[in-house]
């Protein structure tokens, strides 16, 4: 049996105000080529000045990933020619990176080790059009953390878990939005197959630009099958870089080993060694917020939630915070969790937000029997889109449950009068017809009849004359 060995390389943009070596704005989505200067355009005679905020954020990420932070690390030049790299080299770290030897732990206790975490600058962005290629240098010089794992991952599912874990850590620490859609987090994967149980690794291929969680898992699954087929037919895997065609769902050859770049790394002469003080590390440790997995465990402990629910609530930092805020207004965490992980999350994914106190009020109204759950969902949707309070929406829509006995009795009498045959059958013993009467009453009250009261009144009215 052949089993896969997978390693990941992930680039995460650091959420600094300015770029890594100049004071240009680090901002996504601005008009092309508006956040640029001679430094990030690589004009001769300019010198880089290190942005300490980038070092801080990268160190925070490294510590959250259990890495050992090097008190002294170095910058290096990685030389290659590409239109979106105006200097002709990238400032990165090669030997002696910022941090090494980290790990994350899977649910089953297995560890995925992190080989290194280093900082480097991003390149510009090429935009391919029908008429040619355009270049936007706004991204040029934006700080990145690059994280390289050991080949400890043994399935596409584990790879996905790792990437999602990393995204949550980046968001919880405030280091990055880690939004793959915006390219704030990008992933490459190395994959090889070996005989199960064997120590001897197979030849690997690298798959580039897996820019969504879905693509990562699709590309790995495809690449496993592709390599398997070749090896089973007695063929050989070649060391090569491949791309992923997301439309066709296949990987394709980008360049072979012979075409591989020689980056001619050498120490960056324009930057001194990066030296960190103990107090700097201590300060970052002290400012470390609660991480997603810690929040999950606390939610299970404090609110009695099951693991799955806690995971769903904590997957997005904002949702977890929202839940916790709302518990203060509505003290039934399990009931609240059910609403949050379904209705609230669905609205949130559409960009709609609800105030904690409004949801708390709404759920109390439901508990008091003044509004049915079904109607409560409608109210919730309007709360999210209009920002109105539940009471106002209920008043405007005349949604409150009818608990007025006189009103319901009139409706019930109408139904009995209009359906003499069914009433007779019911009175002769066909009790299943109760469902018909309830349905009819709900229709006539637009679902607003208080079910308990309706049952009582119907029961009494039908009994008369039995
Ligand atoms: Zn600049
Ligand atoms: Mn890199």
141, 197 in Cβ contact below 8 A?
A: no
Find the 50 Cα to ligand 1 centroid distance in Å. 12
pLDDT for the residue numbered 231? 93
Ligand 2 center from residue 121 Cα (angstroms)? 8
Condensed to tens digits (0 to 9), the pLDDT of residues 214-254 reads 999 999 999 999 999 999 999 999 999 999 999 999 999 99
101: left (phi over 0), alpha (psi -120 to 50) or beta: left
Ligand 1 centroid, distance to 427 Cα (angstroms): 86
CATH of domain 405-463: 1.10.10.410
Identify the nearest ligand to the CA of 147 by its number.
2
- Name the closest ligand to CA 25: 1
399-to-365, 395, 402, 405 alpha-carbon distances in Å: 12, 7, 9, 17
Indicate the burial class of 295 (C-beta count within 10 angstroms; 0-12, 13-18, 19 or more): buried
pLDDT in tens, the chain (466 residues): 899 999 999 999 999 999 999 999 999 999 999 999 999 999 999 999 999 999 999 999 999 999 999 999 999 999 999 999 999 999 999 999 999 999 999 988 999 999 999 999 999 999 999 999 999 999 999 999 999 999 999 999 999 999 999 999 999 999 999 999 999 999 999 999 999 888 888 999 999 999 999 999 999 999 999 999 999 999 999 999 999 999 999 999 998 877 777 899 999 999 999 999 999 999 999 999 999 999 999 999 999 999 999 999 999 999 999 999 999 999 899 999 999 999 999 999 898 889 999 999 999 998 887 788 888 998 999 999 888 889 888 888 777 777 788 888 999 999 999 999 999 999 888 988 999 999 999 888 877 888 888 889 998 888 876 5
Residues around ion ligand 2, judged by CB within 5 A, are 146
CA of 111 to the centre of ligand 2 (A): 24
Nearest ligand by distance to the CA of 121: 2
- Could you say which ligand is closest to the alpha carbon of residue 141? 1
> pLDDT, tens digit, for every residue of 176-202?
999 999 999 999 999 999 998 888 889
* Amino acid 449: pLDDT: 85
Which ligand is nearest to the Cα of residue 19, counting in written order?
Answer: 1
Using only the alpha carbons of the chain, give its radius of gyration: 30
Ligand sitting nearest the alpha carbon of 36: 1
Decide: helix, strand or coil at residue 165.
Answer: helix
Which ligand has the nearest atom to the CA of 139? 1
Q: Give start-end residues of each CATH 1.10.10.410 domain in the chain.
A: 405-463
The dihedral through the CA atoms of 424, 425, 431, 437 has a sign that is: negative
The secondary structure of 373-427 as a DSSP string is: HHHHHHHHHHHHHH---HHHHHHHHT-S-B--HHHHHHHHHHHHHH-HHHHHHHH
Q: Please tell me the number of the ligand nearest to residue 23's CA.
A: 1
Would you say 74 and 273 are in contact if contact means Cβ atoms under 8 Å apart?
A: yes
pLDDT at residue 465 in the model: 61
CA of 90 to the centre of ligand 2 (A): 9
Cβ within 8 Å of residue 266, ≥6 positions away: 76, 77
3-state secondary structure of 198: coil
Using the mean position of ligand 2's atoms as its centre, give its distance from the Cα of residue 141 in Å: 12
Could you say which ligand is closest to the alpha carbon of residue 263?
2
In 38-155, alpha helices (H): 52-64
* pTM for the full predicted model: 0.85
* Ligand 2 center to 315 CA (angstroms): 27
Q: For residues 123 and 82, what is the distance between their CA atoms, to the nearest angstrom?
A: 9
Which pLDDT belongs to residue 136?
97
Distance 246 CA to ligand 2 centre (A): 22
Q: How far is CA 136 from CA 33, 37, 65, 216, in A?
A: 5, 13, 33, 26
The whole-number pLDDT of residue 69 equals 98
């Amino acid at each position: 049996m052949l089993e896969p060995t997978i390693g990941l390389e992930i680039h995460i943009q650091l959420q600094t105000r300015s770029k890594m070596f100049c004071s240009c704005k680090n901002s996504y989505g601005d008009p092309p080529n508006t956040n640029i200067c001679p430094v990030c355009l690589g004009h001769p005679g300019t010198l880089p000045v290190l942005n300490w905020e980038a070092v801080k954020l990268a160190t925070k990420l490294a510590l959250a990933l259990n890495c050992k932070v090097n008190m002294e690390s170095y910058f290096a030049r990685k030389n290659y020619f590409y239109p979106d790299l105006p200097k002709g080299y990238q400032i990165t770290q090669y030997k002696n990176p910022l941090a090494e030897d980290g790990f994350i732990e899977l649910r089953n206790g297995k560890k995925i080790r992190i080989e290194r975490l280093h900082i480097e600058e991003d390149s510009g962005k090429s935009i391919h059009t029908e008429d040619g290629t355009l270049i936007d240098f706004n991204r040029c010089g934006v700080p990145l953390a690059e994280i390289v794992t050991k080949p400890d991952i043994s399935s596409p599912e584990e790879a996905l878990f790792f990437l999602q874990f990393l995204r949550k850590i980046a968001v919880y620490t405030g280091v990055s939005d880690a939004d793959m859609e915006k390219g704030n987090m990008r992933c490459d994967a190395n994959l090889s197959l070996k005989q199960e149980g064997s120590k001897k690794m197979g030849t690997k291929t690298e798959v580039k630009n897996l820019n969504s969680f879905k693509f990562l898992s699709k590309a790995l699954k495809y690449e496993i099958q592709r390599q398997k087929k070749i090896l089973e037919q007695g063929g050989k895997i070649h060391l090569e870089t491949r791309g992923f065609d997301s439309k066709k769902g296949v990987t394709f050859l980008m360049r072979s080993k012979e075409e591989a770049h020689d980056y001619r790394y050498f120490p960056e002469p324009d930057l001194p060694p990066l030296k960190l003080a103990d107090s700097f590390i201590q300060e970052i440790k002290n400012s470390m917020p609660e991480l997603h997995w810690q929040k999950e465990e606390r939610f299970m402990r404090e609110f009695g939630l099951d693991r799955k629910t806690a995971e769903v609530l904590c997957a997005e930092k904002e949702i977890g915070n929202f839940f916790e805020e709302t518990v203060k207004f509505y003290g039934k965490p399990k009931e609240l969790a059910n609403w949050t992980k379904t209705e609230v999350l669905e609205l949130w994914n559409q960009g709609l937000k609800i105030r904690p106190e409004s949801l708390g009020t709404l759920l109390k109204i439901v508990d008091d029997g003044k509004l049915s759950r079904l109607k409560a969902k409608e109210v919730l949707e309007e709360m999210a889109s209009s920002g109105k309070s539940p009471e106002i929406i209920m008043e405007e829509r005349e949604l409150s449950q009818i608990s007025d006995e006189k009103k319901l009795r009139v409706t019930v009498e109408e139904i009995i009068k209009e359906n003499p045959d069914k009433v007779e059958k019911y009175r002769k013993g066909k009790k299943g017809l109760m469902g018909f009467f309830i349905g009819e009453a709900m229709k006539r009250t637009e679902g607003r009849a208080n079910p308990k009261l309706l049952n009582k009144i119907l029961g009494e009215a039908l009994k008369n004359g039995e």
